[in-house]
Amino acid sequence: MHTLITLFWVAVAIALAMGAGWLFLAAARRLTRGGVARALRGAPVSAGFGMLVILIYVLVALFAHLIAPFGERQVVGAQFLPWDGTYLLGTDNLGRDMLTRLIYGARNTVGIAFATTVLAFSVGAMLGLLAATVGGWLDQVLSRIVDILMAIPSLIFSLLLLTIFGTSVVTLILVIATIDSTRVFRLARSVAQNIVVMDYIEAARLRGEGLWRLITREILPNALAPLVAEFGLRFCFVFLMISALSFLGVGIQPPTADWGSMVRDNAALITFGDVTPLLPAGAIALLTVAVNFVVDWMLHRASGLKE
Partner 1 sequence: MKDTATGKTVLLTIRGLTIEGRSDETWSEIVKGVDITLHKGEVLGLIGESGAGKSTIGLAAMGFARDGCRISGGTIDFDGIDLRAATKDERRALRGKRIAYVAQSAAASFNPAHRLMDQYCEAPVQHGVMSRAEAERDAVELYRRMQLPNPDEIGFRYPHQVSGGQLQRAMTAMAMSCRPDLIIFDEPTTALDVTTQIEVLSAIRDIVAQFDTAAIYITHDLAVVAQMADRIKVLLKGEEVEEADTRTMLATPREDYTKSLWAVRSYARPVQPPVTDAVPVVSVRGVTAGYGAVDILKNINFDIHRRRTVAVVGESGSGKSTAARVITGLLTPRQGEVLFDGEPLPSDYRRRSRDQLRQAQMIYQMADTALNPKLRLRELIGRPAQMYLGLQGKALSERIRGLLDLIELEPDAYIDRLPSELSGGQKQRIGIARALAAEPQFIICDEVTSALDQLVAEGILKLLDRLQSEFELAYMFITHDLATVKSIADEVVVMQNGRVVEQGPKDEMFQPPHDPYTELLLSSVPEMDPDWLTRLLQERRNKAEA
Partner 2 sequence: MSDIWIMIAKRLALGALTLLVISVIIFSATELLPGDLAQAVLGQSATPETVAAFRRELGLDLPAYQRYVNWLFGALQGDFGTSLANKRPIADLISLRLGNTLFLAVYAAFIAVPLSLTLGILAALFRNTVFDRAANAMALTSISFPEFFVAYILIFFLAQSGLFPSMARVDPSTGFTEALYHTFLPALTLTLVVTAHMMRMTRAAIINLLASPYIEMARLKGMKPMRVIWRHAVPNALAPIITVVALNLAYLITGVVVVEVVFVYPGLGQLMVDSVSKRDFPVVQAVALIFAAAYVLLNLLADVLSTLSNPRLVHRK
Using CB under 8 A as the binding rule, whether residue 200 contacts partner 1 is answered as yes
Report what 152 binds from partner 1, partner 2, none; CB cut-off 5-8 Å by kind. partner 2
Contact by Cβ (8 Å): 104, 64: yes
CB of 279 to partner 2, least distance (A): 10
With CB under 8 A as the contact rule, the residue among 208, 271, 272, 273 that binds partner 1 is 208
**CB-based contacts of 27: which residues, under 8 Å, 6+ apart?**
none
Residue 93 binding partner 2, by CB under 8 A: no
On whether the CB atoms of residues 112 and 174 are closer than 8 A, the answer is no
Binding flags for partner 2, 195-234, as an x/- string (CB under 8 A): ----------------------------------------
Contact with partner 1 (CB under 8 A) among 217, 249, 254, 268: 217
The partner residues of 96 in beta bridges, in order of sequence, read 75
Report if residue 260 touches partner 2, rule: CB under 8 A: yes
> For residues 162 and 172, is the Cβ–Cβ distance under 8 A?
yes
When CB distances are held under 5 to 8 angstroms depending on the partner's kind, the choice from partner 1, partner 2, none that residue 198 binds is partner 1
Residue among 60 and 291 whose Cβ is closer to partner 2: 291
**68 or 98: whose CB is closer to partner 2?**
98
**Quick one: what does residue 221 bind among partner 2, partner 1, none, with the CB cut-off 5 to 8 Å set by partner type?**
partner 1
The 10 Å CB-count burial string (b at 16+, else e) for 210-249 is eeeebbeebbbebbebbbebbbbbbbbbbbbbbbbbbbee
User: If residue 93 lies in a helix (H) or strand (E), which one and from where to where?
Assistant: none
Q: Give the residue with the Cβ less far from partner 2, 80 or 157.
A: 157
The distance of closest approach from Cβ of residue 41 to partner 1 in the complex, given in angstroms and rounded to an integer, is 10
Angstrom distances, CA of residue 84 to CA of 81, 97, 209: 8, 11, 67
Question: Is residue 204 within 8 Å of 214, Cβ to Cβ?
Answer: yes
Do 227 and 279 touch, CB atoms closer than 8 A? Answer: no
Count of beta carbons in the 10 Å neighbourhood of residue 252: 23
Q: What does the per-residue mask of binding to partner 1 show for 34-73, with x meaning CB under 8 A?
A: --------x-------------------------------
| 220-248 helix and 259-266 helix, angle to the nearest 10 degrees | 20
Q: In 10 A of CB 261, how many CB atoms?
A: 27
Of 199 and 271, nearer to partner 1 (C-beta) is 199
Q: Which of 81, 126, 161, 169 binds partner 2 (CB under 8 A)?
A: 161
Give strand ranges (E) for the chain.
Answer: none
* 305 is a site residue for partner 2 (CB under 8 A): no
CB 183 within 8 A of CB 157: no
Q: Which among 60-68, 113-121, 123-131, 286-294 is the span making contact with partner 2, rule CB under 8 A?
A: 286-294
Which residue stretch of 24-32, 46-54, 216-224, 264-272 sits at the interface with partner 1 (rule: CB under 8 A)? Answer: 216-224
The reply on whether position 277 binds partner 2 by CB under 8 A is: yes
> Which residue, 91 or 261, has its beta carbon nearer to partner 2?
261
Element housing 231 (H / E): helix 220-248
Interface with partner 1 (CB under 8 A): 42, 198-200, 202-209, 217-218, 221-222
